[in-house]
Chain A
Amino acid sequence: MLIELLHVSIIAACLIASVFYGRYMAKVFQGERNLLSPIIRPIERGIYWICGIDESKEMTWKAYLGWYFVFEFVCFPFAIAVLMFQGSLPLNPHGVASFSFDEAFNIATSFITNTEWQVYSGERDFSYLSQILALIVQDFWSPSVGIVCAVALFRGFARKNFSTIGNFWVDITRTVFYIILPLVTVFALFLASQGVIANLGPYVTAHTLDGGEQLIPGGPAAAVIALQIICEDGGGFFNVNAIHPFSSPTPLAYWFQMGIMLLVPSSLIFAFGEIIKNRKIGYAIFIAMLALYVLSSPFYIGPEFQGNPILQKIGVAGGVNMEGKDQRFTLFEVMIWTLTSMCPANGSTLSQHDSLLPISIMGIIWNIVVGAPIFGCWGTGSITIIYYFIIAMFLGGLMTGRTPEMTGKKIEPLETILGAASLLLSSLPTLIFTAIAIALPVGLAGLNNYGPHGFMEIFYNYAADAVNNGSPMAGLTTNTPFYNYTLAIAMIIGRYSTDITALVIAGSLASKKISPITKATLPVTSPFFILMVVGTVVIINALQFFPFMMLGPILEHLYMVMGRTF
């Protein structure tokens, strides 16, 4: 019990810390003097000077979006090129081969969209150059790009009769230097102190007791893991992700990895409250997210603790389901990690999801599809929950006979329609691509399991990629051109629909006036409205995914109760 409480309190501590980190972030993005200004401000200025950026010059949403695209279009070919030619480029001590175009396209998309879906095995298939230039660089940039879109949206809410929403280059620079670097540095040092490896040496070959040979990987794991855990890309430095002993050598190391996953997504919402000068709204959104997080926990702690009914029936294993989990961790540790990592679309795994019981997997898929607004990815998470607030506002406004307002900004047709479109664009591709994959031989070819379980593997994969979560369920062979392309397209639609709509809405909101609050204004912070938002999130997603859930996890569960597995 004590250990469970400890987990919960570490998460709570990180969430409380996020209140203050959020205030710090708000200062950073508003260009106010903050704790780190004395150290970082000169560097920041130097960068503007070198790049010729006028930090006082703001952009309209069109310019902001334009530079956003320029940035992404430069990143894409560069990353693809590095991956396609890594075999013949330097810093390749183990002579790994180059990727084919479809693989490179998929990997580049995955990292640029902050999905970090891994079609490769991190330690085996990448040269150090690829790790650094294609992956680590994107680990900085892709979450930054997500954050700046969210910050632009926040400004849209805060500003009155404005035509500009900030400066893209300034926002990116500040995210990297004030938000990511300090946090990652501190956390990487902490991880290294716990024994997470950090070197640039060649892999070590070990001779095992039974006479076999094992390749022990090396590399800058502490830095990369710190970066990937904090920035929600969750892509493991090691293929087995956080389960690898080098990734989670001590309880402290993985406890804090778990807690810190929620830090920045949660801080961003508090930063929203600061920027619009209405902390209460930040708290309200936070409470909605926390409620969704807590509400999904029964999926995780329910079935696994009851164990597998088949095994219990034949008396092989009583108690809990430990299949696919490392014995170093308790079941509670594994499941709370899984819950916590799914919500912020982090996707870092501490067990093999393929081996979980069907209802647990349903919980994970649920958190993946709903997960976008529960803390969510850097930036896109905040944007998505704000979209749900907008949709709930629209309905609530109708039901109170008034054009809805959020923080005094009238939520008009443009905002509602774009918000709804973005939400649908990150969920419908999942349904469409899953259906295509299950209908085509080329899709079915990847299956290693059959029946509802096989279906679930495909469903899981597209869902995770469409919301840029990127966690693997495994069990599906996806390194084929078909999966590489379709998964990449799902990632692209999911990510860009959110970011682009956010910038358009930001521009529209910034130009509006701010209406004063009256009794007729629907209070965003009332418990009843928060409940309505939570309800909206649940209903919108349940209506879309219920049929698939029924034919996947629910059907498998019913089969399992009958004694049949896949």
Chain B
Amino acid sequence: MPAKTSINLWQSDLLGRAAKDSVLKLDPRTLWRNPVMLMVEAISILTTVIAINDTFTGGNYKLHIQIAIWLWFTVLFSTFSEAIAEGRGRAQAESLRQARSEAVASKLLKDGSIEHISALSLRKGDIIIVKDDETIPSDGEVIEGVALVNESAITGESAPVVREPGGTISGITGGTRVISGQIKARITADPGETFLDQMIGMVESAKRQMTPNERALQILLVGMSIMFTVVVVTLVPVASYTGVQLAIPVLVALLVCLMPTTIGGLLPAIGIAGMSRLLQNNVVALSGKAVEASGNVDVVLLDKTGTITLGNRMATEFIPAEGVTKEELAVSAMLSSLADETPEGRSIVDLSKQVLGIRGRDIRPSEGSTFVPFSAETRMSGINMDCKEIRKGANDAIEEYVKSKSGSITASIRTAVDDIAKQGGTPLLVVEGSKVLGAVRLKDVLKEGIKEKLSNLRKVGIRSVMITGDNPTTAAAIAAEAGIDDFIGQARPEAKLEVIRKYQKEGHMVAMIGDGTNDAPALAQADVGVAMNAGTEAAREAANMVDLDSNPAKLLDIVEIGKAILITRGALTTFSVANDVAKYFTILPAMFMAQLPMLGVLNVMQLHSPNSAILAAIMFNAIVIPLLIPLSLRGVKYTPSSAEDLLRRNLLIYGVGGLFVPFIGIKLIDILVVLLHLE
């Protein structure tokens, strides 16, 4: 398990920095990225000026100054939420940045000499050399040599990994450390574009790109703010026609309460928090768009090996021939595999020990035995001991071997072999001399927890497709066991790309995970392409997310996080809009009750006085933002269920809740305002 970098939300130094940042973020030049809050800031400035003016001219300054203060708090709480989300993400990324900026790179020049330069001045295409105990200065691809690399700085995983040219383990990341070995690598990123830079950029609001959905929501929120501005401004002449002159700070209080400040204020924090939630899962999204798309994915392409099954086949059963006991078969199988260092061989030894009830670690064959290693010609391995020749191997190889000793394979063994193959396993036969002792069932073993994950996927309507090089029978059996919806057997490397295109043409959104150079086109074609960090540079470049743990099952977590981000936005938008009903019933009667006392019937909460009502509404509106910070950072809980159930639940909690909560909240604050004589 990788150690997850969890950062305590309420750490004091984080809070201190966030408080400072929240003030700095009031600068309109940075606040323009959040137009709703920029509007509130402009309104706050206007109200402050009026309130100060009232102090000298004897207007209702007591109320107006308080309104101004709470308006400022509304903006500050919003920038604070953004700052704290950023702070968390930054804390995760900061340590990495430090490690890298100190690094010195040994650049290999064309004439073969080496130049020591700062890591930050490396450019794409440069060749570097990294030796024992040096920090890798930038992202690159190993072209020569082998090294053991400690990547704990980015993955949290302390076990070192091997990096060598070609294949799927050639990628190196800036900021990680070589423990032993020496490699020559080609740099693949310009300064400011490395993986680490991208990672940091995703959690900094100034650099963060808004996702399409987020942008649409923001435009809608601006539209709503304009709508409410029209509602409030047009109220002025109508009120004055009715004989009521409205003070600007009171109008402004109404406007800000109606504007979607709750969601508007928390929107940046939700986006940043989403990115850092991914980071906590050791996934780096290279585009926010991909995170959003992952919530839309309805087909996921999974490699069989490593994702659905453990990498290797394991022995799971001994099927003895007639007249042979299971124990006899187990002993022979074990002996034949003692020297077999392949995972299959070891799993046979393990299974035999289980069957025979042996606990000891060291089992040795009798003196004078010789091992017969696996060879391509015989396709068997085994042992010669005590004049016995024990061999194990694939069905056809053993059949040939037995025939050459003029023996034969019995019908019952043939049936066993067929059954094993039909059920998706691989049969091995164990033979002593010319006598077949029985069959060993080698089977793909599912990864722990994969079944639950796949069934969760199905619950949310996502189809899983398994890609494997196995023959269709084997593939079907594994698919059935794991609960996979569809599979592509005997897949060639190009198959992935074709499958993705096919699904996309049908209107599906496809996610896939891959590591090899072969996977690059498919990763680029997929709507969400996740490359494993250990994968080739080609794969990493084609993908829009990188999984630092190189754990293919991560795709499922990514989908859930993508959905949770959207749900959080939706829930808070609904909450924000539903709140407006109570605010109308608070402020409108308060505005008119003095001159038109009959409108007091609309004061359903029986608030104490117009002043206390207006204050209570504007205070509630401000305070609700910090109260919702934990929710927006954590995200609304997402439990896999059908769209209808999700909608029903979230609408009841945030829609209906949003209707009633402010009635209670405003009433309570009103009581408090009266108690403290603030009105």
Residues of A participating in the B interface, judged by any CB pair closer than 8 Å: 394-403, 408, 412-413, 416-417, 420-421, 424, 428, 431-432, 434-436, 438-439, 444, 451-452, 455, 513-516, 518-523, 526, 528-529, 532, 535, 539, 542-544, 546-548, 550-551, 554-555, 558-559, 561-562
> Can you list the 5 inter-chain pairs with the closest CB atoms, starting with the nearest?
A398-B570, A401-B563, A519-B461, A413-B216, A520-B461
How far does the alpha carbon of A558 sit from the alpha carbon of B506 in the complex, in Å? 60
How far does the alpha carbon of A514 sit from the alpha carbon of B508 in the complex, in Å? 9
Residues of B617-663 whose CB lies within 8 A of A: 638, 642-644, 646-648, 650-651, 654-655
Q: Name the distance in Å between A559's Cβ and chain B's nearest Cβ.
A: 7
Contact with A along B297-336 (1 / 0, CB 8 A): 0100000000000000000000000000000000000000
Residues of B180-239 whose CB lies within 8 A of A: 212-213, 215-217, 219-220, 223, 226-228, 230-231, 233-239
Most buried by A among B230, B233, B580: B230
Do B643 and A400 have beta carbons less than 8 Å apart? Answer: yes
Known contacts A518-B298, A519-B461, A521-B461, A551 near B239 by CB under 8 Å: yes
Do B646 and A399 have beta carbons less than 8 Å apart? Answer: yes
Do B296 and A402 have beta carbons less than 8 Å apart? Answer: yes
How far does the alpha carbon of A289 sit from the alpha carbon of B588 in the complex, in Å? 30
How far does the alpha carbon of A402 sit from the alpha carbon of B462 in the complex, in Å? 12
Q: Which residues from B are CB-within-8-Å of A413? A: 212-213, 215-216, 219
How far does the alpha carbon of A521 sit from the alpha carbon of B298 in the complex, in Å? 10
Q: Which residues from A are CB-within-8-Å of B509? A: 515
Beta-carbon nearest neighbor of B578 in chain A:
A539
Do B647 and A431 have beta carbons less than 8 Å apart? Answer: no
How far does the alpha carbon of A548 sit from the alpha carbon of B638 in the complex, in Å? 40
Beta-carbon nearest neighbor of B587 in chain A:
A547
Q: Which of A402, A416, A561, A562 contacts B643 (CB 8 A)?
A: A402
Beta-carbon nearest neighbor of A522 in chain B:
B643
Do A435 and B563 have beta carbons less than 8 Å apart? Answer: no
The reply to whether the CB of B664 lies closer than 8 angstroms to some CB of chain A is no
Do B570 and A397 have beta carbons less than 8 Å apart? Answer: yes
How far does the alpha carbon of A520 sit from the alpha carbon of B645 in the complex, in Å? 10
The stretch among B106-114, B475-483, B598-606, B668-676 that forms the contact with chain A is B598-606
Beta-carbon nearest neighbor of B505 in chain A:
A513
Do B643 and A435 have beta carbons less than 8 Å apart? Answer: no
Do A399 and B216 have beta carbons less than 8 Å apart? Answer: no
Contact with A along B470-510 (1 / 0, CB 8 A): 00000000000000000000000000000000000111110
Q: Name the distance in Å between B643's Cβ and chain A's nearest Cβ.
A: 4
Do B219 and A401 have beta carbons less than 8 Å apart? Answer: no
Do A399 and B298 have beta carbons less than 8 Å apart? Answer: no
Known contacts A424-B223, A455-B238, A399 near B598 by CB under 8 Å: no
Q: Which residues from A are CB-within-8-Å of B654? A: 399
Do A400 and B646 have beta carbons less than 8 Å apart? Answer: yes
How far does the alpha carbon of A521 sit from the alpha carbon of B463 in the complex, in Å? 13
How far does the alpha carbon of A539 sit from the alpha carbon of B581 in the complex, in Å? 8
Do A547 and B233 have beta carbons less than 8 Å apart? Answer: no
Do A401 and B241 have beta carbons less than 8 Å apart? Answer: no
Q: Which residues from A are CB-within-8-Å of B596? A: 555
Beta-carbon nearest neighbor of A519 in chain B:
B461
How far does the alpha carbon of A18 sit from the alpha carbon of B167 in the complex, in Å? 66
Do B238 and A515 have beta carbons less than 8 Å apart? Answer: no
How far does the alpha carbon of A543 sit from the alpha carbon of B658 in the complex, in Å? 15
Do A558 and B237 have beta carbons less than 8 Å apart? Answer: no
Contact with A along B562-603 (1 / 0, CB 8 A): 111111011101100110110010001000100010110110
Do B602 and A550 have beta carbons less than 8 Å apart? Answer: yes
Q: A395-B573, A519-B460, A544-B231 are in contact. List 19 more A-B contacts (CB 8 A).
A: A396-B651, A397-B570, A398-B573, A400-B650, A403-B213, A420-B220, A431-B230, A434-B234, A439-B240, A439-B241, A455-B241, A455-B242, A519-B642, A522-B644, A539-B577, A543-B258, A547-B231, A547-B584, A555-B242
Q: Name the distance in Å between B574's Cβ and chain A's nearest Cβ.
A: 6
Known contacts A395-B570, A396-B647, A428-B227, A434 near B238 by CB under 8 Å: yes
Q: Which residues from A are CB-within-8-Å of B592? A: 550-551
Q: Name the distance in Å between B511's Cβ and chain A's nearest Cβ.
A: 13
How far does the alpha carbon of A408 sit from the alpha carbon of B298 in the complex, in Å? 13
Interface size (B, Cβ < 8 Å)? 73
Beta-carbon nearest neighbor of A398 in chain B:
B570
The reply to whether the CB of B268 lies closer than 8 angstroms to some CB of chain A is no
Q: Which of A399, A420, A444, A523 contacts B574 (CB 8 A)?
A: A399
Q: Name the distance in Å between B51's Cβ and chain A's nearest Cβ.
A: 24
Do A515 and B507 have beta carbons less than 8 Å apart? Answer: yes
Name 19 interchain pairs, CB-CB below 8 A, sorted by A. A396-B651, A397-B566, A399-B571, A401-B567, A413-B219, A431-B234, A435-B238, A439-B240, A515-B509, A520-B462, A528-B651, A539-B578, A547-B584, A548-B235, A548-B238, A550-B602, A554-B599, A559-B598, A562-B598
Q: Name the distance in Å between B224's Cβ and chain A's nearest Cβ.
A: 8
Do B459 and A394 have beta carbons less than 8 Å apart? Answer: no
Q: Which residues from A are CB-within-8-Å of B508? A: 515-516
Do A401 and B213 have beta carbons less than 8 Å apart? Answer: no
Beta-carbon nearest neighbor of A521 in chain B:
B643
Q: Which residues from B are CB-within-8-Å of A516? A: 298, 506-508
Do A401 and B295 have beta carbons less than 8 Å apart? Answer: yes
Do B588 and A547 have beta carbons less than 8 Å apart? Answer: yes
Do B507 and A513 have beta carbons less than 8 Å apart? Answer: yes
Do A438 and B507 have beta carbons less than 8 Å apart? Answer: no
Do B564 and A420 have beta carbons less than 8 Å apart? Answer: no
Known contacts A412-B212, A416-B216, A522-B644, A401 near B566 by CB under 8 Å: yes
Contact with A along B408-426 (1 / 0, CB 8 A): 0000000000000000000
Q: Which residues from B are CB-within-8-Å of A515? A: 298, 507-509
Q: Which of A412, A428, A432, A452 contacts B216 (CB 8 A)?
A: A412
Beta-carbon nearest neighbor of A459 in chain B:
B238
Contact with A along B272-306 (1 / 0, CB 8 A): 00000000000000000000100110100000000
Do B227 and A402 have beta carbons less than 8 Å apart? Answer: no
How far does the alpha carbon of A491 sit from the alpha carbon of B229 in the complex, in Å? 22
Do B602 and A528 have beta carbons less than 8 Å apart? Answer: no
Do B647 and A551 have beta carbons less than 8 Å apart? Answer: no
Beta-carbon nearest neighbor of B254 in chain A:
A547
Do A400 and B598 have beta carbons less than 8 Å apart? Answer: no
Do B296 and A403 have beta carbons less than 8 Å apart? Answer: yes
Q: Which residues from A are CB-within-8-Å of B459? A: 519
Do B644 and A526 have beta carbons less than 8 Å apart? Answer: yes
Q: Which residues from B are CB-within-8-Å of A439? A: 237, 240-241
Known contacts A399-B574, A431-B230, A532 near B647 by CB under 8 Å: yes
Q: Name the distance in Å between B285's Cβ and chain A's nearest Cβ.
A: 16
Q: Which of B220, B234, B573 contacts A417 (CB 8 A)?
A: B220
Q: Which of A395, A412, A452, A529 contacts B242 (CB 8 A)?
A: A452
Beta-carbon nearest neighbor of A550 in chain B:
B588
Q: Which residues from B are CB-within-8-Å of A550? A: 588, 592, 599, 602
How far does the alpha carbon of A528 sit from the alpha carbon of B655 in the complex, in Å? 13
Known contacts A544-B231, A547-B235, A528 near B647 by CB under 8 Å: yes
How far does the alpha carbon of A512 sit from the alpha carbon of B220 in the complex, in Å? 22
Q: Which residues from A are CB-within-8-Å of B599? A: 550, 554-555, 558
How far does the alpha carbon of A521 sit from the alpha carbon of B461 in the complex, in Å? 8
Do A398 and B569 have beta carbons less than 8 Å apart? Answer: yes
Do B231 and A431 have beta carbons less than 8 Å apart? Answer: yes
How far does the alpha carbon of A559 sit from the alpha carbon of B243 in the complex, in Å? 14
Q: Which residues from A are CB-within-8-Å of B258? A: 543
Contact with A along B92-108 (1 / 0, CB 8 A): 00000000000000000
Do B296 and A399 have beta carbons less than 8 Å apart? Answer: no
How far does the alpha carbon of A518 sit from the alpha carbon of B215 in the complex, in Å? 26
Q: Which residues from B are CB-within-8-Å of A436? A: 237
Beta-carbon nearest neighbor of B641 in chain A:
A519
Q: Which residues from B are CB-within-8-Å of A435? A: 233-238
How far does the alpha carbon of A522 sit from the alpha carbon of B295 in the complex, in Å? 13
Q: Which of A420, A434, A519, A548 contacts B223 (CB 8 A)?
A: A420
Residues of B447-468 whose CB lies within 8 A of A: 458-463
How far does the alpha carbon of A268 sit from the alpha carbon of B504 in the complex, in Å? 33
Beta-carbon nearest neighbor of A523 in chain B:
B644
Known contacts A547-B231, A558-B599, A558-B601, A398 near B567 by CB under 8 Å: yes
